[in-house]
Amino acid sequence: MTGEVPEGSSTAVTVTPVLVAELLADGERMPVYVHVIDHPDGRVLVDTGLTQLHPAVEDMDPRLMPLSTQEGFDVAGIDVVVNTHLHFDHCGGNHLFAGKPVYVQGVELEEARSRDDYTIRAWVDAPGVDYVAVDGGHELLPGVRLVPTPGHTQGSQVVVVQAGGRSVVVAGDTAVFYDELDRPRTEGQRLIRELAPDEVWLSHQHEPWRPANASRAVLAD
Ligand SMILES: [Zn+2]
């Protein structure tokens, strides 16, 4: 399965995408994925998708597959939540994890709470949501790091998973399209490339970006 760290590594850590919604963007259906990182020391959920409709995003005609209704997804089994950023399609399920620590960059939390038209604020501060505001890099678990990657939003962050000699990034919207990693433009996109990851999972793509994609793109130029 893609995203899995090869067997035989001393620490088995896996990254699994879960489709939670589809949105209409520029006339096309765009998937919304969240990612589960299974680590021997805990299970981390990166982003939470959305669980309900809202007038503010009606025009995107959301089709929802909330985590709470997915057979085989154990909401109670999540130990830690990370928000890559706080746009509505990344924090709308935070309320499902009331009482669990939700890691977010402090800058992002400030922006989401103060800027108009930034997100659906009621979803950010839903009852029981317990943020841990981080300022910069942070080691969440051994081999699992939060890295700030400004660009898509000022307070965006990615999760870098290093295990079994491989490096996998869960990038949220730091890149929305593969092309943005083939030819990085923002500080955050450049940072991801500097990490030289084997795979980068994006919230709105079915498959991870891989460096091979980039060499192909260059050859095609
Ligand atoms: Zn998004």
DSSP letters along 25-39, please? Answer: ETTEEEEEEEEEEEE
* Ligand 1 midpoint to CA 23 (Å): 10
* Ligand 1 midpoint to CA 11 (Å): 30
Query: What is the architecture of the domain spanning 14-220?
Result: 4-Layer Sandwich (3.60)
pLDDT at 220: 47
Give the model confidence (pLDDT) of 154-209 as tens digits. 999 999 999 999 999 999 999 999 999 999 999 999 999 999 999 999 999 999 99
Residue found under tokens 């051994």: 142
pLDDT at 4: 57
pLDDT at 9: 46
* Ligand 1 midpoint to CA 78 (Å): 21
Evaluate if residue 136 carries a pLDDT over 70. yes
Evaluate if residue 7 carries a pLDDT over 80. no
* Ligand 1 midpoint to CA 172 (Å): 7
Q: Report residue 141 as tokens.
A: 């678990």
* Ligand 1 midpoint to CA 208 (Å): 15
pLDDT at 212: 79
* Ligand 1 midpoint to CA 196 (Å): 23
Contact 38, 57 (CB under 8 A): no
pLDDT at 11: 56
Give the model confidence (pLDDT) of 23-80 as tens digits. 999 999 999 999 999 999 999 999 999 999 999 999 999 999 999 999 989 999 999 9
* Ligand 1 midpoint to CA 10 (Å): 34
* Ligand 1 midpoint to CA 166 (Å): 26
pLDDT at 129: 98
